[in-house]
A = this chain, B = another copy of it.
Amino acid sequence: MSLNLEYYDWLIVEDGFHPEKNREMESIFSLGNGKMGQRGNFEEAYSGDSLQGSYIAGVYYPDKTRVGWWKNGYPDYFAKVINAINWIGIDILIDGEKLDLAKCEIIDFRRTLNMQEGNLERKFSVKLPNGNIVSVQSIRFLSIVDTSAGAIKYSIKAENFEGEISLIPYLDLDVKNEDANYNEVFWEEEHQEISDETAMILGKTKKLDFRVCSAMHSEIYKNGSQQEIPAENIKKPKYVATTYKVLLKQNEELSLYKYVINNSSLDHPLSDIKKNTSSQLKYVVKKGFEQMLREHKEAWAAKWRESDIKIEGDTAAQQGIRFNIFHLYQTYTGEDERLNIGPKGFTGEKYGGSTYWDTEAYALPFYMSTAGKEVARNLLLYRYRHLGKAIENAEKLGFKNGAALYPMVTMNGEECHNEWEITFEEIHRNGAIAYAIFNYIRHTGDTGYMADFGLEVLIGISRFWSQRISYSGDKQKYVMLGVTGPNEYENNVNNNWYTNTIAVWTLEYTLQNLKSLKKNHPEKYTALIEKLHFNPEKETSRWEDIIQNMYFPWSPEFKVFLQQDGYLDKEDVTVKDLDPDERPLNQHWSWDRILRSPFIKQADVLQGIYFFEDKYDTETIKRHFRFYESRTVHESSLSACVHAILAARINNMNLSYELYLRTSRLDLDDYNREVKEGLHITSMAGTWMTIVEGFGGMRVKNGMLSFYPQIPEKWVSYSFNVRFRGNLLNILVNEHIIITNKTGDKIKVLVFDKAREIEKESGISIHISSMNPAG
């Protein structure tokens, strides 16, 4: 609770100014619209501690790699979405003195994120060093209707004086990344212009030649009436501004409307980018702030209608889940298959806005269920488009014949990460990409995707596994040596059970789909194997052999699959034996100590149990959960959700709820003391999964949605929506589960494994308290 934010259903409120927590608040109060994002920085000057952050989707920089010791195969650069033009800036001078909250006496201060309507508001009163007191109210948003546009209304009132106010809206490209390996400046200016009407800057990244064209237009109102004020333009390198000077009497209020368009060369040909930016600016200015805000609010309302989760009886939880859903939609809207979901979204520099396996393992289910098929499909197509690069990546590591290794971290399909134990060895990511295809088709029923795109990716990945797996003469089994599993607190281990499992599953799934394609679409099959130079006999016979003879580490004593070879050589201690002062381990223990300890960062064997739950009976799941959860320190933001879902699966709702709490308000309560670096966007999807798959017990079985609902003791009810194939369902859980078929035809669902039909636009209600929910 280190941020002390109050509980509201729809708002996040910082009451009083907390300069020592300003970076944290800037992360929390970030806005985004899928195309761009903006940390909760102030419009006016601020000389206190702050991380300026303005990010344009897909505009990244290949920052030259920094390593201690070079290894063959390391990438040359780390791609990062970079801090871009400061477009929110408005300098304020009051009788010549700059308004700067770090230098004023704060009378009151309130920053509010309105998640329902998608805007950020600030209200504050301050006394300047010269004794003048002003009240300020600002509201801004990044439109999800006009997705190039941001708009700000900035109002200032003279409380105790009469004096000259200078309003100086500006565009400033003279920005840096804090996270720059060699302190490079990433931006060059290609063009700037300014007239009374508009100011514009066209920036270019020093590498890759991305362009971002930004233009602004400002209007001044006094006491509600628009003013014609002579503007004084300022031009400096990478900077354009306009100064408006107004004499304000006591209690008069001045308002500045600042309209901005940011366009990148991803969306506009270079020849048109300036022209398009100008005309879009004209368009939004003409539409006007209030109308833009109205449309934006309505668009958010529509999003919420389909994706909201309502929780009765627990405002903290309600706020938490909405905060998560809100940021997920601010980060990714699914309209552009070139974009993806960085672990920090648009809320900070860390992890550089790049794509990790988080997308497939954690984020996909959320978007698939709430935003629907096309959005999920775009997430898959992102990887399909990168298949060529994944093959190149595998070739760099010595693989051949179209074997594909997807990168651990990427922007354009090339690997960016440069720790060998991750880059070269954390190859289970490849399995998650295969699994996402399965998961997508299972949920959406879009079998056509397999023939057109999916199988090509699966063959690339299967070829990789087939070459990466080797034969142990000693074990007389196939083995996979030298890997890092999802539990990154082990490096370079042999036979990580999860990786072995998902590799063999990939081979099985690929074979099965090859057969079915050959049978159902022989012409597509022929075209595909020709395109890929696929040798069905030779390649599949090795796959079959691996499937039959793969080694999976197993403990007869504990009757559990072992995380890896030798896991039982570790000390026999569990998390409860740890000194609380030494946690989190990754801040207290040296790396070698972590590595040789039995402690687990995040779900590893249990990730496999979660993915392939159908294969294991409840007793097996219980045994594995007890064994591994007791050794898991949950030091990844992605850990709690999988455990929470499994805890619910084995009927341990108390633990499930406890784990849920860790993810749901992870950022709002800054559990890990790292919110200042940005929010944990991908883990937010895990929170959604915990409610839907954990408490709701939702699965897809035999082509049907299936529910095993439970409810945390503290809650009165919760409800969520799910898109499933042609339908949109609402699921409300209290003592009953009430499923409403909101759109689409009659649908059959499973509740406690019993099939129930729900008519069009109607619902069913089943009492749950008497049931034994989890087998």
Q: Which of A406-432 contact B (CB under 8 A)?
A: 418-421, 424-425
A581 at the interface (CB under 8 A from B): no
A570 at the interface (CB under 8 A from B): yes
| Complex: chain B residue closest to A479, CB-CB | B569
Chain B residues with Cβ below 8 Å from A71 are 590-591
**Can you offer 15 A-B residue contacts whose CB atoms are under 8 A?**
A65-B68, A66-B68, A72-B591, A73-B590, A396-B590, A474-B557, A481-B569, A482-B592, A482-B595, A491-B491, A491-B492, A492-B493, A492-B595, A494-B569, A565-B566
Instruction: Provide the bound-state CA to CA distance between A67 and B592, in Å.
Output: 17
Q: How far is the CB of A578 from chain B (nearest CB, A)?
A: 13
Instruction: Provide the bound-state CA to CA distance between A740 and B586, in Å.
Output: 62
Chain B residues with Cβ below 8 Å from A421 are 491-492
Chain B residues with Cβ below 8 Å from A590 are 71-73, 396-398, 424
Given contacts A67-B67, A68-B419, A72-B590, 18 further A-B contacts (CB under 8 A): A66-B66, A66-B67, A67-B68, A71-B590, A71-B591, A72-B588, A73-B590, A396-B590, A424-B590, A424-B592, A470-B570, A471-B571, A472-B568, A473-B572, A481-B566, A482-B592, A565-B565, A565-B566
Chain B residues with Cβ below 8 Å from A492 are 421, 491-493, 595
| B67 touching A420, Cβ below 8 Å | no
| B593 touching A398, Cβ below 8 Å | yes
Write out, one digit per residue, whether chain A residues 62-94 have a CB within 8 A of any chain B CB (1) or not (0): 000111110111000000000000000000000
Known: A569-B475, A595-B492, A596-B482. A586 touches B69 (CB 8 A): no
Instruction: Provide the bound-state CA to CA distance between A471 and B474, in Å.
Output: 25
A589 at the interface (CB under 8 A from B): yes
- In this complex, the interface size class of chain A, counting residues with CB under 8 Å from chain B, is 35 or more
Instruction: Provide the bound-state CA to CA distance between A470 and B592, in Å.
Output: 14
Write out, one digit per residue, whether chain A residues 441-469 have a CB within 8 A of any chain B CB (1) or not (0): 00000000000000000000000000000
A587 at the interface (CB under 8 A from B): yes
Q: How far is the CB of A438 from chain B (nearest CB, A)?
A: 27
Instruction: Provide the bound-state CA to CA distance between A173 and B34, in Å.
Output: 55
Chain B residues with Cβ below 8 Å from A69 are 418-419
Chain B residues with Cβ below 8 Å from A73 are 590-592
Instruction: Provide the bound-state CA to CA distance between A568 and B472, in Å.
Output: 7
| A420 touching B592, Cβ below 8 Å | yes
Instruction: Provide the bound-state CA to CA distance between A275 and B482, in Å.
Output: 61
Q: Which of A544-566 contact B (CB under 8 A)?
A: 557, 565-566
Write out, one digit per residue, whether chain A residues 472-503 have a CB within 8 A of any chain B CB (1) or not (0): 11110001011000000001111000000000
Contact check: which of B67, B72, B569, B572 meets A586 at CB < 8 Å?
A: B72
Known: A66-B67, A568-B473. A72 touches B589 (CB 8 A): yes
Chain B residues with Cβ below 8 Å from A593 are 397-398
| Complex: chain B residue closest to A566, CB-CB | B494
